[in-house]
Amino acid sequence: MSSLYENLNQWIEMQKKIKEWFDSIYDNVNKGDRLELILYIRMAFQHIMRTLKAFDNWLQDPFIISNMPREQLEDVWKTVFTLLQQLLELDVRHTEGFRDHILSLEKEGKLNPMLVEIFSEGARRRRGEREREGVTLSI
């Protein structure tokens, strides 16, 4: 059992240190250029995914879940539900904003021609695949 306690303690300390580090860089990241913002967002996403994967593994372990009190599970559910709602709102807000931005750039003739070509080629490819499969619905 001591190795289990040690592993749990190590995970807790690592998560605390990572939280402290992200807290310490927050203001500087907001002052950074676009590349810095992208890099730090990606770092945050990677850590979120790592934590979610670990949590998912945790909840698949019968030895863990058989000893986890219902109150803790309810707390996890409430928090996960809130995170999910916030993530979905972020995704919709970001995707709508980006869509509107590129539409505006396109109307002004300022849209990067490579972006146009990449998406045009992808649309042609998808359309061809649907036609070969007998699907004519365009989205």
The alpha carbon dihedral of 59, 63, 65, 67 has a sign of: negative
pLDDT of 122 above 60: yes
Residue 137: predicted pLDDT? 46
Give the pLDDT score at 124. 72
Which residue among 68, 93, 116 closes a domain? 68
34 and 87 together in one domain: no
User: Has residue 75 been placed in a domain?
Assistant: yes
Residue 14 confidence (pLDDT) above 60: yes
Please tell me whether residues 86 and 128 are part of one structural domain. yes
Q: What is the mean pLDDT of the chain?
A: 90
Q: Please indicate, yes or no, whether residues 61 and 95 belong to a single structural domain of this protein.
A: no
Mean pLDDT of all residues in 74-94: 97
Same domain for 75 and 64: no
Is the full-model pTM beyond 0.85? Answer: no
Same domain, 83 and 28: no
Alpha carbon distance 19, 23 (integer Å): 6
Domain limits for position 106: 70-133
Residue 139 in any domain: the answer is no
51, 15 contact by CB (below 8 A): yes
37 plus 93 within the same structural domain = no
Please report which confidence band the pLDDT of residue 82 belongs to, taking 50, 70 and 90 as the band edges: very high
For residues 75 and 89, state if they share a domain. yes
Report the distance separating Cα 42 and Cα 20, nearest Å. Answer: 17
**How many domains does the chain fold into?**
2
| Cβ-proximal residues to 138 (8 Å cutoff; 6+ apart), any chain | 127
Q: Decide if pLDDT at 123 tops 80.
A: no
